[in-house]
Amino acid sequence: MSGGARWSDVLVEAIRCATVSLPPDVVAGLRRALDGETSDLARLQLGTMLDNARVARASGLPLCQDTGTPVFFVRAGVESPWLADLPGALVDAVRAATDSIPLRPSAIDPFTNRNVGNVGRGVPVIDWDLVPGAEIAITYVAKGGGSENASGLLFVVPGEGTAGVLRAVLAHVVRVAPRACPPVIVGVGIGGTADLALRLAKRALIRPLDARHDDPAVAAFEVELLDAVNRSGIGPMGLGGACTALAVHADFAYRHPASLPVGVALQCWADRRGTVRIPASGIAEVVE
Amino acid sequence: MIRKVELPALAAEVASWRVGDVLSLSGVVLTARDLAHRRILEACPLDAGERGPDLPFDPTGLPIFHCGPLARRDGVRWTITGLGPTTSARMESTTPAIMARYATPFLIGKGGMGPATRAALVERGGAYLAAVGGTGALGARAVAEVVSVAWLEELGMPDAVWILRLSEYGPLIVTMDSQGRDLHEEVVCAAERTLGNASR
């Protein structure tokens, strides 16, 4: 039996769980946000989000009608015997999940506007990170269109340093957050090349809400930016309030002397994600 | 706190809605997003007289919901399994003409619209209602009936025009009203003032 056939049920189950069930850390984040709000409209909306999470989990209905672009973040152990089977298995899982959950067909040819389902050229998106070892960890994320449209690639003058990065990201987030279903999760990739900065920002989104970066300087940047974003008063759904972002996750790469690219990725409060682990034995399991 | 509204609502009632009011809706609405707006305008330009021959539905007097629902077909019957707002700003350039042509009483979406729609709402006594984004499961439970669907084959599920009968769909927050108030704009302006003050 190929790896793909063997993992199909597990991968589809991970997609189903992510689609209907808000992760516990995000539920806790929304509850904290609700406790911190004094505005009636902010409280009404956060309460509605939590109600929706309860109804979705109990009924098996998707949290959001936009079931998103399917994205897989793969940390692939280079010694795994299953690497060759993986791309096909991920595509098959998206097809099966689209039929069985069902997911909304959301993959459209940009030239013809034809909606082909959820599998097409470049979709599902698969982000490969080759790591030592023989284990594969796959995190599925449903990326909604509204939050994806709020992505940004900024070029900060290197002399302005991380203070300049913070100012630029803050200005960007305040401008775009109202359309990204706040309270959002903010991913920031600092340095590298343009594409790497955005990739780091995207990968940062899948960290648990309360996990700060290992590097104390980066962790301090995360805390300072989160505080500044929330002082903006944009609030839930952009209608005013104390909580605009649930978390900021940053990461970095070394930069060219002339260049300080900054990638910004946002995820909506309906942060649908799930992780599957495939050890060398090939017996896959959903781990979160 | 939530005011229950039966559709169709009288024009005077819609004009009386004010920013901050919270409503739930029961009655018929039409979903349309980017491609449907363009197609409606192509079929029926503003100066084409009465309803154009090409539209397979009549949008006259129906509220427009910026929404691409998730639906499941069981035989000939459709069930909505996800219903909620999409970002309205994408429909800014096409909305005023459609509102004028089809007497659209009000809009439902998320994130607000731009200055042209704001002006159209003032001129026509309309309103914009913000739904809570990402709450598709609650929305699905508020669909009483799928009345019809058009352009499903050509545009696909999210971009098709769905005519739905809703039952107490809400909470919906009035964020743009007939007096020209726009809560989205007010919040962003206040945020930019806060940032400006912080950086001085």
Number of domains making up chain A: 2
Confidence of residue B43 (pLDDT cuts 50, 70, 90): confident
Q: Does A112 touch chain B (CB under 8 A)?
A: no
* B10-37 average pLDDT score: 97
What integer is the mean pLDDT of B145-158? 97
Query: Which three-class secondary structure string do you get for B21-52?
Result: CEEEEEEEEEECCHHHHHHHHHHCCCCCCCCC
Residues 49-88 of B with CB under 8 A from A: 67-70, 72, 81-84, 86-87
Three-class SS state of A16: helix
Cα gap A117→A112, rounded to integer Å: 14
How far, in Å, CA of A199 to CA of A192, rounded? 10
DSSP string, A128-146: EEEESSS-EEEEEEEE-HH
Question: Does A166 lie in the same domain as A134?
Answer: no
The reply to whether A252 and A242 lie within a common domain is yes
Please enumerate in sequence order all residues whose Cβ is within 8 A of that of A19, keeping only pairs 6 or more positions apart, or say none.
A62, A63, A67, A97, A101, A103, A142, A272
Do residues A11 and A139 share a domain? yes
Q: What is the ipTM of this complex?
A: 0.95
Report the chain A residue with the minimal C-alpha distance to residue B133: A181
* A235 and A281 share one domain: no
B143 CB-near residues (< 8 Å, 6+ apart): B80, B83, B164, B165, B166, B167, B169
Which one, of A275, A276, A288, A274, lies nearest residue A82 by Cα?
A276
Q: Which residues of B are catalytic?
A: 37
Q: Is the pLDDT of residue B161 over 70?
A: yes
Tell me: do A193 and A256 sit in the same domain.
yes
With beta carbons less than 8 A apart as the criterion, state whether A233 and B187 touch.
yes
If you measure CA to CA, which chain B residue comes closest to A144? B134
What own/partner pairs with CB < 8 Å and gap ≥ 24 does B148-154 have? B148/B57, B149/B71, B149/B78, B150/B55, B150/B56, B150/B57, B151/B36, B151/B39, B151/B56
A113-168 per-position pLDDT tens digit: 999 999 999 999 999 999 999 999 999 999 999 999 999 999 999 999 999 999 99
> A46-56, pLDDT tens digit by residue?
999 999 999 99
Taking only the tens place, the pLDDT of each residue in A76-122 is 999 999 999 999 999 999 999 999 999 999 999 999 999 999 999 99
- DSSP run (H or E) holding B6: strand B2-6
- Which tokens hold the place of B87? 């970002």
pLDDT tens, residue by residue, A218-253: 999 999 999 999 999 999 999 999 999 999 999 999
**Within this chain, do residues A7 and A124 fall inside the same structural domain, yes or no?**
yes
B195 → closest Cβ in A64, A145, A171: A171
Q: Is residue B48 scored above 70 in pLDDT?
A: no
Three-class SS state of A22: coil
Domain harbouring A131, CATH code: 3.30.1330
Same-domain check for residues A205 and A109: no
Same domain, A103 and A93: yes
A102 lies in the same domain as A125: yes
Q: Which of residues 89-128 of B touch A (CB under 8 A)?
A: 89, 110-112
CB of B37 within 8 Å of any CB in chain A?
no
DSSP state of B18: -
Domain locations along chain B: 2-199
State the Cα–Cα distance between residues A175 and A180, nearest whole angstrom: 10
Could you please state the CATH topology (level 3) that the domain comprising B2-199 is classified under. Answer: fumarase (3.20.130)
Residue, of A8 and B166, whose pLDDT is higher:
B166
Mutation to test the B interface, candidates A19, A37, A66, A69, most B Cβ within 10 Å: A66
Which two structure tokens, joined as six digits, stand for A11? 């991968």
- Based on the fold, state whether residues A15 and A126 are members of the same structural domain: yes
pLDDT at A3: 66
* Whether the Cβ atoms of residue A5 and residue A21 lie closer than 8 Å to each other: no
Distance CA B8, CA B21 (A): 18
Q: Is the pLDDT of residue B53 over 80?
A: no
Which among B21, A134, B20 is positioned nearest to B9, based on CA atoms?
Answer: B21
pTM (predicted TM-score): 0.96
Q: What is the 3-state secondary structure (H, E, C) of A146-209?
A: HHHCCCEEEECCHHHHHHHHHHHHHHHHHHHHHHCCCCEEEEEEECCCHHHHHHHHHHHCCCCC
- Distance of alpha carbon A98 from alpha carbon A12, whole angstroms: 9
A116 & A154 share domain? no
Q: How far is A40 from chain B (nearest CA, A)?
A: 9
Domain that holds residue A160: 146-267
Rounded to an integer, what distance in angstroms lies between the CA atom of residue A186 and that of residue A75?
A: 21
Q: Identify whether residues A87 and A163 lie together within a single domain.
A: no
